Amino acid sequence: MDPHRNPNIIPTKGRRDELVARHRDTRVIYNQAMDEHATQVGEPAEIGIDASNDLFVDTPPYQRARAALADLKAIEDEYFAALPRLALAPCPHCGKPFFRTFDPFGLDGLWWRSDAHPDEPPACPHFCLLKVRSICAPAGRRPTSTFTRAPARRT
C-alpha cells in the first residue's frame, strides 16, 4: 500500500458499496432536478449558465441540482480517497515503486468510468505510458469478446 495514503482510511467493500449507491441515488436526484428546471424555464436541454449571467434563472429544482452536484463531488472525493493504492511495479531504472489507485471490489464502481481521474502520487521521472493492447494474440488473429473494449486509462 502507498505510504503517502492516509493510514486512517481503511478500504472496505461495504463502505465502497455504500458510496457507489449514494452516488447512483444522488445522480438520479440531480438528473430529475435538472429535467424539472429545464421544463420550468421552457428549455429542452440542460442549462448550465452561472449566476453572473443575465440569462440565469434560479429555480428551486436548479438549487436542488446544484446541491446534488456538490454532493456528487464530495462522494467521488471520499470514494477515491478510500480506495486502495497499490504498488504495481518498481521502476527498472531507479527502483521507486509505481503506485496507482484501484477498485478491486466490483465493476460498478466510479474508478471504472472512462472519465474517472483519481489523484495519484507522482511517478518517478522515468515513467511513461505506452498504449498497448490489453489482450495479446498471435499475429494476424484478433481476439473476440462479448464486451466493449475501451482505450487504456491515462494516468
Residue 8: pLDDT band (50, 70, 90) is low
Residue 138: pLDDT band (50, 70, 90) is low
The fraction of the chain above a pLDDT of 70, given in percent, is 66
Residue 84 near residue 102 (C-beta atoms within 8 A): yes
Give the residues across from 89 on adjacent strands. 98
Whose CA is closest to 91, among 120, 130, 129, 126? 126
Whose CA is closest to 90, among 131, 121, 123? 123
Whose CA is closest to 1, among 118, 106, 100, 131? 100
Mind listing the pLDDT tens digit for each residue in 64-92?
999 999 999 999 999 998 888 888 888 88
pLDDT of residue 145: 47
pTM to 2 decimal places? 0.64
**Separate counts of helices (H) and strands (E) for the chain:** 2, 2
C-alpha cell at 149: 473494449
Q: Which of 1-10, 56-65, 137-146 has the lowest mean pLDDT?
A: 137-146
In this prediction, residues 120-141 reach a mean pLDDT of 62
| CA pseudo-torsion sign 94, 126, 91, 3 | positive
Of 145 and 127, which is predicted with more confidence? Answer: 127
pLDDT of residue 77: 92
Whose CA is closest to 72, among 36, 44, 31? 31
Residue 119 near residue 149 (C-beta atoms within 8 A): no
Furthest-apart CA pair in the chain: how many Å?
61
Task: Give the count of beta carbons closer than 10 Å to the beta carbon of residue 86.
Answer: 15
